[in-house]
Chain A
Amino acid sequence: MRTANKNVSAVRLVEDALKKAKEFADYNIFTYLNEKGALEKAREIDEKIAKGEEVGRLAGVPYALKDNFLSPEGETTASAHILQGFESPITATAVAKLEKEGAIMIGRTNLDAFAHGSSTENSYFGPTLNAYDKERVAGGSSGGSAVAVALDIVEFATGTDTGGSIRQPASFNGVYGLKPTYGCISRYGVVAMASSTDCIGFFTKSTEDMNLLMEVASGKDSKDLTTLDDYYNNIEEKEAKKVGIIKEFDNDSVDPEIREALKNKCELLRSKGYEIIELEMPALKYALAAYYIIVPAEVASNLSRYDGVRYGFRSEDSKDLNKLYANTRSEGYMPENKRRIMIGNFVLSSGFYDAYFLKAAKVRTLIVKEYEKAFESCDFLLTPVAPNPAFKLGEKVNDPVAMYLEDLMSVSLNLAGVPGLAIPAGKTKAGLPIGLQLVGPRRSDKNLIEFANVLKEDA
């Protein structure tokens, strides 16, 4: 990525990014543009450069921040009405790490409210449009971030991935999108969705940029007790030989052009001397159902904190405290937020817990074991990200189950905690990007990113 130096100033990089952000305003990418703050930071960096002082590895690099990362610049709303007006007094660890290296946030990006969705249509601010076709969805939930990178407004953008929210929009917009190993990057200061599957990650235009960002952002954080030790930079390099294809993800339910792209990449790998093996992972068929029990349960718990009392939106004229809670929550949440909270409370409620939540937790064990077994016989897995390329706006928004099916091939990674990297894999005849995902064992993030180079078109 381009960093600021004596010849190219940070102010210039930031001004260019802001100008592009405005040019592409009709895509509805940003919920907030950080014009003043970004330019101030850029000037500081330029002064340091002029004085010959040390500037970080991301000096002057403009980036976009998914609007569920807390920082004092602008309101952090998670694209939800209920958080409107919330100006965070704290900064997420991931943001602090990026800014310490000199990265400059030029804007906050649109998402499905509270990251509930696969198209960014569930945003209180309306949908973000696809970078390649304005009649189609950006994917989601990190739709704004994916499109900001795809349209070359910024060098990189942050995302969160609870069940595919980085990888699917990355694949819909032809950029790289990484969901790291669970616990790799601190979640301190990021709006919680489902605590046992939430991951922080990035959108980039190259594998090199992805590696750099991971070097900067990963590592143990005393403010997030679910962060792993600093393994990212210390992982042993391993030469990959075998790549697995999952039989359950290569059938008629997947768009033929995506299957063709997968086949082509397998041919490419074979021509480079890698062995392709076909694996059966029957428990993955049930991953989506297990996910849509476990995640709503955690959502119901995590979203119970929003009540209009301490911060954000508060419904007016409620005559007592209970009415205030109920009115605030009813007016402040999007329909999909409500569906997930209610399903979550259903699967956790007395009489249904064993049949739903406990059962799903047991199915999760089967999924974890299936991945462990798969990585005994291959180094990485290669699968589609989603069953189809970007779909039309409005096509699935009123059919929750059809929208959930978008996540069919992405959620099992979150349930197992393994990393997945969405890589660009050509385009459909209609010109829409196709993405595939590389999946590795836990803690293999660095090798996964490195291996993606083997799959590059011109490599």
Chain B
Amino acid sequence: MEINCETIEHLADLSNFSVSTEESKALEKDLGEILKYISQLEAVDVEGVEPTYQVFEMENVWREDEILPQEALREDLLALTKEQKDNQIKVPKVL
């Protein structure tokens, strides 16, 4: 797999980044080297091996469906945003 400027553009899009031409060149080189390093897994034989996604002895944890007191108040949370109006977060136009 080769990393080129189209790959960078695609990955920037997936990652929600706007990338300048200069940044794109640096990323091409860096991501290319990282990819080369991680590609060494090609050499490992994992025939018949199940994947591990987590190392916690996972079980479902059940609780009553009830409303518990929350540490943060609505006003506290809304106060964190840059712009609010009528108890709602204000952002630039969507469409």
| B55 part of interface (Cβ distance < 8 Å) | yes
> Which residues of A, 260-304, contact B by the 8 Å Cβ criterion?
283, 286, 288-290, 292-293, 300, 304
Please tell me if the beta carbons of A318 and B51 are within 8 angstroms of each other in the complex: no
Chain B residues within an 8 Å CB radius of A33: none
Q: Is residue A319 within 8 Å, beta carbon to beta carbon, of the partner chain?
A: yes
- How many chain A residues touch B (Cβ–Cβ < 8 Å)? 69
B52 interfacial contact with A, CB 8 Å? yes
A361: B residues at CB distance < 8 A: 51-53
Cα–Cα, bound, A329→B16 (Å): 7
Q: What string of 1s and 0s marks CB contacts (under 8 Å) between A294-322 and chain B?
A: 00000010001001111110100011110
Chain A residues near B95 (CB-CB < 8 A): 320
Contact assessment for B80 and A330 in the assembled complex, using a CB-CB cutoff below 8 Å: no
Across the interface, name the chain A residue whose C-beta is closest to B94. A321
Question: Could you tell me if B35 and A346 are in contact, using CB atoms closer than 8 angstroms?
Answer: yes
Q: B5 at the A/B interface (Cβ < 8 Å)?
A: no
- Give the residues from 314 to 347 in chain A that come closer than 8 angstroms, CB to CB, to chain B: 314, 318-321, 323-327, 329-330, 333, 335, 338-339, 341-343, 345-347
| Contact code string B24-51 (vs A, CB < 8 Å = 1, else 0) | 0011001101110111111010100111
Q: A338-B17, A343-B35 are in contact. Are A366 and B1 (CB under 8 A)?
A: no
Measured in the bound complex, the distance between the Cα atoms of B19 and A301 in whole Å is: 19
A321 and B93 form a contact (CB under 8 A)? yes
Given contacts A90-B71, A320-B94, A352-B1, whether A196 and B55 have CB atoms under 8 Å apart is yes
Interface string of A209-232 (1 = CB under 8 A from B): 000000000000010011010000
Which residue in chain B gives the minimum CB-CB distance to A364?
B52
Task: Say whether B92 faces chain A, with CB atoms less than 8 Å apart.
Answer: yes
Once the chains bind, are B55 and A182 in contact (CB under 8 Å)? yes
| A320 / chain B contacts, CB cutoff of 8 Å | 92-95
Contacts of A417 in B (CB 8 A): 55-56
Q: Which residues of A contact B16 (CB under 8 A)?
A: 304, 307, 325-326, 329
A377 interface contact, C-beta 8 A: no
- A310–B19 CB distance below 8 A: no
Number of inter-chain CB pairs below 8 Å: 160
In the bound complex, how far is the Cα of B6 from the Cα of A450, in angstroms? 54
- The reply to whether A196 and B54 form a contact with Cβ atoms under 8 Å apart is yes
B76 contacts partner chain A, Cβ-Cβ < 8 Å: yes
How far is the CB of A378 from the nearest CB of chain B, in Å? 20
Known A183-B56, A323-B92, A349-B14: A311·B41 in contact at CB below 8 Å: no
Q: Is the beta-carbon distance between A289 and B38 smaller than 8 angstroms?
A: yes
Partner of B18, one of A309, A311, A326, A401: A326
A52 at the interface (CB under 8 A from B): no
A396 to chain B, nearest CB (A): 13
- Assembled-state Cα–Cα distance A308/B16 (Å): 12
Say which residue of A292, A346, A364, A401 sits within 8 Å of B51 (CB atoms).
A364
B27 in complex: contacting residue of A86, A333, A339, A364, CB < 8 Å: A339
Interface centre among A289, A307, A309 (most CB of B within 10 A): A289
Question: Of all chain A residues, which has the CB nearest B36?
Answer: A401
Q: How far is the CB of A294 from chain B (nearest CB, A)?
A: 9
In the bound complex, CA of A360 to CA of B82 (Å): 40
B67 part of interface (Cβ distance < 8 Å): no
- A90–B72 CB distance below 8 A: yes
Query: Does A365 have its Cβ within 8 Å of any Cβ on chain B?
Result: yes
Q: Is residue A256 contacting chain B, with contact meaning CB distance below 8 A? A: no
In the assembled complex, the CB of B38 is this many whole angstroms from the nearest CB of chain A, namely 5
Question: Given known contacts A87-B80, A292-B38, A330-B18, is B89 in contact with A342 (CB within 8 Å)?
Answer: no
Given contact pairs A289-B41, A366-B49, a sample of 18 additional A-B residue pairs in the complex whose CB atoms are under 8 Å apart: A89-B71, A89-B73, A225-B61, A226-B58, A228-B57, A286-B41, A292-B37, A293-B38, A307-B16, A320-B95, A342-B27, A361-B52, A365-B46, A365-B51, A365-B52, A366-B46, A400-B30, A417-B55
A residues in contact (CB < 8 Å) with B: 86-87, 89-91, 182-183, 196, 222, 225-226, 228, 283, 286, 288-290, 292-293, 300, 304, 307-312, 314, 318-321, 323-327, 329-330, 333, 335, 338-339, 341-343, 345-347, 349, 352, 355-356, 358-366, 368, 400-401, 404, 415-417
A-B residue pairs in contact (CB < 8 Å), sample of 9: A89-B77, A289-B38, A321-B92, A324-B91, A339-B34, A352-B1, A358-B51, A363-B41, A366-B46
Name B's A-contacting residues (CB within 8 A): 1, 7-8, 11-12, 14-19, 26-27, 30-31, 33-35, 37-42, 44, 46, 49-58, 61, 63, 71-73, 76-77, 80-82, 89, 91-95
Q: Which 3 A-B pairs have the closest CB atoms?
A: A417-B55, A361-B51, A311-B80
